């Protein structure tokens, strides 16, 4: 057994170890990809639910906006008139 045999043995072992590490890394990357894809799908569905909720709330509030504006105007007018009469006293 000369030095060439040890060199060939070390190259062969290095090749097997490198192949094993690359296969392990590829499996790990695939697993992370599947987890990320699942998380993105859940986030996408949550965003869709949030969007639907906002649309529903907007549809419910739109008819009330003129009434709320009128009430706010009346309250503002009442406060303004109250200030005028309080200063007069």
Which pLDDT score is estimated for 89? 54
Which pLDDT score is estimated for 49? 96
Mean pLDDT throughout 67-88?
89
Residues present in the chain in total:
89
Mean pLDDT throughout 25-40?
96
- The pTM score is 0.51
Average pLDDT for the chain: 92
Which pLDDT score is estimated for 77? 93
Quote the Cα angle for 32-35-38, to 5°. 150
SS3 content of the chain, % helix, strand, coil (to 5): 95, 0, 5
């Amino acid at each position: 057994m000369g030095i060439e045999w040890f060199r060939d043995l070390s190259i062969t072992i290095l090749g097997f170890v490198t192949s094993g590490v690359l296969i392990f890394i590829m499996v790990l990357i695939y697993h992370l990809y599947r987890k990320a894809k699942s998380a993105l799908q859940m986030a996408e569905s949550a965003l869709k639910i949030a969007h639907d909720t906002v649309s529903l709330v907007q549809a419910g509030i739109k008819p009330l906006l003129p009434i709320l504006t009128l009430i706010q105007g009346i309250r503002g007018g009442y406060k303004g008139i109250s200030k005028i009469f309080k200063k007069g006293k």
